[in-house]
Each structure stands twice: as structure tokens, then as C-alpha cells.
Amino acid sequence: MRLSRAFLPTLKETPAEAQIASHRLMLRAGMVRQTSAGIYAWLPLGWRVLQKVEQIVREEQDAAGAQEILMPTIQTADLWRQSGRYDAYGPEMLRLKDRHEREMLFGPTNEEMVTDLFKGYAKSYRDLPRNLYHIQWKFRDEVRPRFGVMRGREFLMKDAYSFDLDCTGAQKSYRQMFVAYLRTFARMGLKAIPMQADTGPIGGNLSHEFIILAETGESQVYLHKDLLEFDVLSRPVDYDGDLSPIVDFWTSRYAATDEKHDEAAWAQVPGESQVSARGIEVGHIFYFGTKYSAAMGLSVNGPEGKPVVPEMGSYGIGVSRLVGAIIEANHDEAGIRWPDAVAPFKVAVLNLKKGDSATDALSERLYAAFAPDAIYDDREDRAGVKFADADLMGYPWQVVIGPRGAAAGKVELKRRATGEREELSVEDAITRIKGA
Ligand code: ATP
Ligand code: MG
């Protein structure tokens, strides 16, 4: 993208309504714009990040054996009456009427809909196990929408739903999602810690919240230091194999949110291994047995010819919240420091002398080498403006090209994460970035 033609409405002033760094930076970098309380339009820069986050989520869901579908945002009240949640959900649910006065709602989650959908297809135990997911906008009329996209009213969620013949199968599905989540967040450069959680309005008996540590987190969390040191990406995962060793590593060490915190168990953790911090919930997984399948009348013909009610779980990831959470974990005074995997553009090419033929030629060459994952600052602005914008928007690699260097075929390469700078030939700069 050429910056001279981009729709990138950056803000000079820090917006007064933004209380936390990620919200301020997303507004200042022109990533999103609030259209009404807790509802955001995603502008080109923000939209690119959201799509990159979404794609990582998708790849890891697919790898774990879940299958992508797309269910609608609008649902009928009847579905929710079957599970009893239409009244129970309360004012967080946005209720609508169509022209025939039929009661509808904007989905806050999809347990009812997916169970009903699956019911239309599953006849026998051979149709199990299955795991279906979608990445779709949700609406929850939060009492206090705040912190930008972190607690919005309309937000993008990945929600997966597993159907199994029995409890053993359901626990296997749960472990598959557990491991897929560890990998998903690690690929985004985040350390997300699974913590035992309350099951809340979804109901059920086994549940983990995945929490990343950040000072501005909404919950207080307590965990064993070992959990911060585990590198889940360093070994390949066989999702058909036994995942218990990985899951057990996490569940056998102390990690709890405030609600589940147990002082007696905490006291058993050696003092030097105790970490207490603030956390942001980025994912939440549940195993709830037959709660929805029974209520919605889902049953299949079992191996012995008797009807069996499938065991279910549901697995959410806050895709749009993650964009804010990643910034909370990766920023400094100057702006965002995107991890490579989710950066809106991997490379920024800064042309310091537009109109100088050698500088223009080198800049174009670099831009072409990385497009479409590069942004080219070809504006007429001062160098200082370009440096400040590139740091604010947080591109992992910046290539600075000025007339003096260009005459000698040299460019300056800057790594945003560390601030390191280096003068290199164009070829070496390209090789360096491609090899990283
Ligand atoms: P919270 O405790 O933060 O209100 P929740 O328990 O209501 O979240 P779930 O129903 O488990 O959320 O939804 C799955 C994921 O969706 C959460 O882990 C979170 O990352 C994300 N999420 C939930 N509510 C919001 C929201 N209002 N804005 C953005 N993301 C959200
Ligand atoms: Mg939750």
C-alpha cells in the first residue's frame, strides 16, 4: 500500500476517552473508529490485523480437526426458548422483531443454533465425533462497553462446538481445543495461560479461561512461574494421539483467576515461583455434557441400537479482543510493536527524499520485493513525521532510504522490537528480512 493514497486517518492528539494503551494506540494509528458505544468500524490497517489474527485462529482450528461453517448473526427467539435461555440471558441480549412481529435476536453465542443444525444431520454414532466452528460477529449489550475493542458490544468471536458419543470422547475433544488454543496464542506472540474457570451462563462442569498477562487486565490472576516458560510451538502435535501429557503439564500447576483462587493451594506454591498479575481473557473453553443436546432434542442411534444424547463442549476465542490484547502486550512510548505474525504490514519502506531519482528507484525496488505485505511511505512529509508514524503503526521492519545512502546503494534497516539499526546494501536488507 502506498501511504500517499492510503485511508489511514491517524490522530495527532491522544483521544481523551481512551483509558488504556491499546485503545489509545488503535485510535491514534487509525485502525478503528467507534460508530456508537462499543461498536467499531475497522479501517484498512486494523482490518488487516484482524484478518491476520483470524487466519491464525482458523489454521489452528483446522489443524485440530474442527470444520469451518458460517452461521447467521440473526437467530429466532424460539430456538432460545427451547434451551430456556431466552429469558435467562437478560438485557445483554439484543432482541429484535421482523415485519411479521416474529421475535428475533442478534446472536450473543450459538450453542442453540449449532445444536439444532447438527440435529438435522446426525442420525447415528457414526456421525460422531464432529467439531464445527465459525468466526462470526456477536452482539452483547454490555453494561459497560470500554477499553475499545476489548469489551465491545459488537465483536468478532471464533466459537467451536464439539459433539461426542460419550464423556471420554468429549474430554478428548476438549484436550484438542486446549492444545489448539495454546498454539494459536503462541503464534501471535502471546503467552496465554489456561486457568480453571467458572462455567457461568453457559453451564457445565469443566472449563478453562485462557488469560494473557497485562497490567490493564480486568481480572486478578495467580499462577506458577513454570507456566510462563513452556514453549508449546517447539514440538509438533498429533491431535489423534494422546494429548494428556501436554494438558497435564498445564493443569497440574497452579493457575487461577480471582473467582477460583484458593489460598490454601496457593500457599503450597514456593514463594519464588508465585506470580500474581492482572490478566485479559482471550479465550474460554467449556465441557458441558448434554445440557444443550438434551434440551434441544438431539439424539443419535448408539452402537447398541439405543438412542444416545451426544456430549458437547463449546470453545470461544475473542478475535477482535485479541487485536487490543496483542497491543497491550506489545507497545512502548512511541507506539505499537507488532509481532511479525500479525503485523498489518511486515515491512515499511520510508522514502526520505521523494523526487530524488536514486531514492525513488531504490524505494520502489524494496516495496516491490515485499508487496503486498509492505507499506510504502511515499508522502512528501518530513523525515521526522515518517519515523514517528512508522513507530506508531508498529511495523516490525522499517527500511529507511535517503539520498546519500541511495547514491551508494545503501539503506538503513530498523527492527521495531529492539530499536536496532543497521546500514546494508539493498540485497542484504531484502535477504535479512526474508530470512527472519
Ligand atoms: P468476559 O468474562 O470477558 O465478559 P465471557 O466469559 O462473557 O467474557 P465468553 O462467552 O466465554 O465470554 O466468550 C468467548 C470469548 O469472547 C471471551 O474469552 C472473550 O475473549 C471474547 N469476548 C466476550 N465478550 C466480549 C466483548 N464484550 N468484547 C470483545 N470480546 C469479548
Ligand atoms: Mg468467560
Q: How many CA atoms lie within 13 A of 276 on its CB side?
A: 10
Would you say the CB of residue 140 lies under 6 angstroms from ligand 1? yes
**pLDDT for residue 200:** 62
pLDDT for the residue numbered 66: 98
All cell numbers assigned to 124 = 447415528
C-alpha 336/C-alpha 403 separation (Å) is: 28
Going from the Cα of 281 to the center of ligand 2, the distance in angstroms, rounded, reads 7
Question: Considering only CA atoms, which residue is closest to atom 13 of ligand 1?
Answer: 316
Whether the Cβ atoms of residue 32 and residue 344 lie closer than 8 Å to each other:
no
Position 16 scores a pLDDT of 87
Burial class of residue 357 in the structure, from the number of CB atoms within 10 Å of its CB (0-12 exposed, 13-18 middle, 19+ buried): exposed
Rounded to the nearest angstrom, the distance between the alpha carbon of 280 and the centre of ligand 1 is 10
Query: Which pLDDT belongs to residue 203?
Result: 55
Question: Would you tell me which CATH number, out of the four given (2.40.50.140, 3.30.930.10, 3.40.50.300, 3.30.420.40), belongs to the domain 3-336?
Answer: 3.30.930.10
The reply to whether ligand 1 has any atom less than 6 angstroms from the CB of 158 is no
Query: Could you tell me where the DSSP H helices lie in 193-307?
Result: 244-251, 263-267, 291-295
Please list the residues that pair with 106 across neighbouring strands.
74, 94
Q: Does the beta carbon of 283 sit less than 6 angstroms from any atom of ligand 1?
A: yes
Give the pLDDT confidence score for residue 42 in this predicted structure: 98
Q: Outline where 84-131 has alpha helix (H).
A: 85-88, 111-119
Find out whether the beta carbon of 282 lies less than 6 Å from any atom of ligand 1. Answer: yes
- Atom 22, ligand 1: residue with shortest CA distance: 318
Identify the pLDDT of residue 197. Answer: 79
Cis? peptide before 372, omega within 30° of 0: yes
Residue whose C-alpha cell is 442411534? 301
Q: Is 316 in the pocket of ligand 1 (CB under 6 A)?
A: yes
Ligand 1 centroid to Cα of residue 318, in Å, is 6
Residue 370 is which amino acid?
F
Q: Assess whether the C-beta atom of 321 lies below 6 angstroms from ligand 1.
A: yes
CATH 3.30.930.10 in the chain is located at 3-336
Sign of CA dihedral 104, 108, 111, 117: positive
In the reported structure, the alpha carbon of residue 424 is separated from the centroid of ligand 1 by a whole-number distance in angstroms of 46
Q: Which ligand neighbours the alpha carbon of 318 most closely? A: 1
CA dihedral 378, 362, 28, 51 (to 10 degrees): 110
394 lines ligand 1 (CB under 6 A): no
What's the grid cell of residue 184? 494459536
Give the Cα separation of 95 and 117 in Å (integer).
21
Strand ranges in 328-383 using DSSP code E only, listed in sequence order: 331-332, 335-336, 347-351, 374-377
CATH 3.40.50.800 in the chain, residues?
345-435
Q: Where are the alpha helices (DSSP H) in 274-317?
A: 291-295
Residue-wise burial string across 232-260, b where 16 or more C-beta atoms lie within 10 A, e elsewhere: beeeebeeeeebeebbeebeebbbbbeeb
Pocket lining: 157 vs ligand 1, CB cutoff 6 Å: yes
Mutate to test the pocket of ligand 1, among 157, 184, 199, 322 (most ligand atoms within 8 A of CB): 157
Instruction: State the pairing for strand pair 219-224/206-213.
Output: unpaired
- Is residue 208 within 6 Å of ligand 1 at its C-beta? no
- What confidence score (pLDDT) does residue 205 get? 63
For domain 345-435, the CATH superfamily is Anticodon-binding domain (3.40.50.800)
- What CA–CA distance (Å, rounded) separates 385 from 392? 10
> What ranges in 261-382 are assigned the alpha helix state H?
263-267, 291-295, 319-329, 357-370
Q: Using the mean position of ligand 2's atoms as its centre, give its distance from the Cα of residue 274 in Å.
A: 24
What radius of gyration, in Å, describes the C-alpha atoms of the chain? Answer: 24
Which of 18, 34, 36, 51 lies closest to 345 in space, CA to CA?
51
pLDDT (tens place) for every residue of the chain, 436 residues total: 999 999 999 998 888 889 999 999 999 999 999 999 999 999 999 999 999 999 999 999 999 999 999 999 999 999 999 999 999 999 999 999 999 999 999 999 999 999 999 999 999 999 999 999 999 999 999 999 999 999 999 999 999 999 999 999 999 999 999 999 999 999 999 999 999 877 665 555 689 999 999 988 989 999 999 999 999 999 889 999 999 999 999 999 999 999 899 999 999 999 999 999 999 999 999 999 999 999 999 999 999 999 999 999 999 999 999 999 999 999 999 999 999 999 999 999 999 999 999 999 999 999 999 999 999 999 999 999 999 999 999 999 999 999 999 999 999 999 999 999 999 999 999 999 999 8
CA proximity to 159, closest of 131, 135, 188? 135
How many whole angstroms separate alpha carbon 274 and alpha carbon 222?
7
Q: Mark out the alpha helices in 64-149 (DSSP H runs).
A: 77-83, 85-88, 111-119
If you take atom 16 of ligand 1, which residue's CA is the nearest one? 318
Q: Which ligand is nearest to the CA of 192?
A: 1
| pLDDT, position 157 | 98
Distance from Cα 71 to the centre of ligand 2, integer Å: 21
Q: CA 204, 206, 210, 216 torsion: positive or negative?
A: positive
User: What's the pLDDT score for residue 408?
Assistant: 94
Q: What are phi and psi of 102, to 5 degrees?
A: -80, 140
